[in-house]
């Protein structure tokens, strides 16, 4: 059963703590993406990776970090430097075409 999984679905953290969100895909896609979604807003690109061991900053990379050590995995770390970390985080992957496919999302709440 191919797809993209994100875990956990809900995540709660205290301010000042780093937190890592998981994204795994078994679609054999080369490219993977992380987006942030806030209420009433479109999706904003945080980081993306076109291939293993390579990634680029998106439009709102400050306060976030990623790694791409395996094709299947693209974890996102929300650091304490991110001023407004509470949001819905979406991971996506892309095959050879232009279509991106999304995971179910992780809702992060930082208090």
Q: How far is CA 95 from CA 57, 92, 98, in A?
A: 20, 10, 7
Q: How many CB atoms lie within 10 A of CB 93?
A: 26
Beta bridge partners of 24: 5, 73
Whichever of 47 and 82 has its CB closer to another protein, that residue is 47
Whichever of 73 and 102 has its CB closer to another protein, that residue is 102
Q: Which residues bind another protein (CB under 8 A)?
A: 4, 6, 31, 40-43, 45, 48, 50, 56, 58-59, 90, 92, 94, 97-105, 107
Whichever of 75 and 105 has its CB closer to another protein, that residue is 105
CA separation for the pair 109, 93 (Å, rounded):
24
**Least distance in Å: CB of 103 to another protein?**
5
């Amino acid at each position: 059963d191919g797809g993209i999984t994100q875990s956990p679905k809900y995540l709660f953290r205290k301010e000042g703590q780093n937190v890592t969100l998981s994204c795994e895909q078994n679609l054999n896609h080369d490219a993977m993406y992380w987006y942030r979604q806030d209420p009433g807003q479109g999706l904003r690109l945080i980081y993306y990776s076109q291939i293993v061991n390579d990634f680029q900053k998106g439009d709102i990379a400050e306060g976030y970090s990623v790694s791409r050590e395996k094709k299947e995995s693209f974890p996102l770390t929300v650091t304490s430097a991110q001023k407004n970390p509470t949001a819905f985080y979406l991971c996506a992957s892309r095959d050879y075409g232009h279509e991106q496919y999304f995971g179910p999302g992780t809702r992060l709440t930082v208090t």
